[in-house]
């Protein structure tokens, strides 16, 4: 399968992606725990059906020491007992923040309060930005039908 677009070859896209990649690097350096970042990135990517991002985030998380059990259970996190309450709050926010078109009210107050119980304002800001960033990245990849499977851990870091 070939991608519809090669974002890295197009001059305009190259200019824009330089900034997108820089934003991604800043998000990696946020005060949000690295494991939480990968779990959220993976869940957003699963919801959006972004195979290339699922490939990337499962491999990066595994390379950083995340267990296969936790990675395999992200899609069913509500029923899984392997996530902390803070991670569950982040995953709930990730789902509502990704499915804003499915819920007339957007992110509900209860989900926000659950996240705010576990994360300070700086971490909540990072979480909101990460969810938004992943949704943008997923859409770029899904639109262009970027193929998955060839990512090497740390390739873009």
Domains annotated on the chain, with CATH: 32-144 (1.20.1290.10)
The most distant pair of C-alpha atoms in the chain lies apart, rounded to whole Å, by 47
Give the torsion through C-alpha atoms of 57, 63, 68, 72, to 10 deg: 0
Give per-residue pLDDT as tens, 68-95: 999 999 999 999 999 999 999 999 999 9
Judged by DSSP in three states, 139 sits in helix
Q: Could you tell me if 94 and 86 are in contact, meaning their C-beta atoms sit under 8 angstroms apart?
A: no
Sign of the dihedral through C-alpha 139, 142, 143, 149: positive
Mean pLDDT (the chain, rounded) = 93
> In 3D, which of 26, 25, 31, 34 has the Cα closest to residue 64?
34
The per-residue pLDDT for 61 is 95
- Give this prediction's pTM: 0.92
Using alpha carbons only, what angle is made at residue 146 by residues 107 and 16, rounded to the nearest 5 degrees?
A: 70
DSSP at 157: -
CA 29 centroid distance within chain = 14
Return the percentage of the chain with pLDDT > 90, whole number: 77
Judged by DSSP in three states, 126 sits in helix
């Amino acid at each position: 399968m070939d991608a519809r677009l090669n974002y890295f070859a197009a001059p305009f896209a190259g200019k824009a992606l330089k900034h997108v990649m820089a934003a991604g690097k800043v998000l990696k350096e946020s005060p949000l725990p690295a494991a939480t970042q990968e779990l959220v990135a993976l869940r957003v990517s699963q919801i959006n059906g972004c195979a290339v991002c699922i490939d990337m985030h499962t491999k990066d998380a595994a390379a950083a020491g995340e267990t296969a059990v936790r990675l395999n259970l992200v899609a069913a996190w509500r029923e899984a007992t392997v996530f902390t309450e803070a991670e569950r709050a982040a995953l709930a926010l990730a789902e509502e923040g990704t499915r804003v078109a499915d819920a007339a009210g957007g992110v509900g107050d209860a989900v926000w309060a659950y996240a705010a119980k576990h994360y300070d304002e700086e971490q909540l800001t990072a979480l909101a930005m990460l969810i938004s960033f992943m949704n943008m990245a997923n859409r770029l990849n899904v639109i262009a039908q970027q193929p998955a499977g060839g990512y090497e851990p740390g390739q873009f870091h």
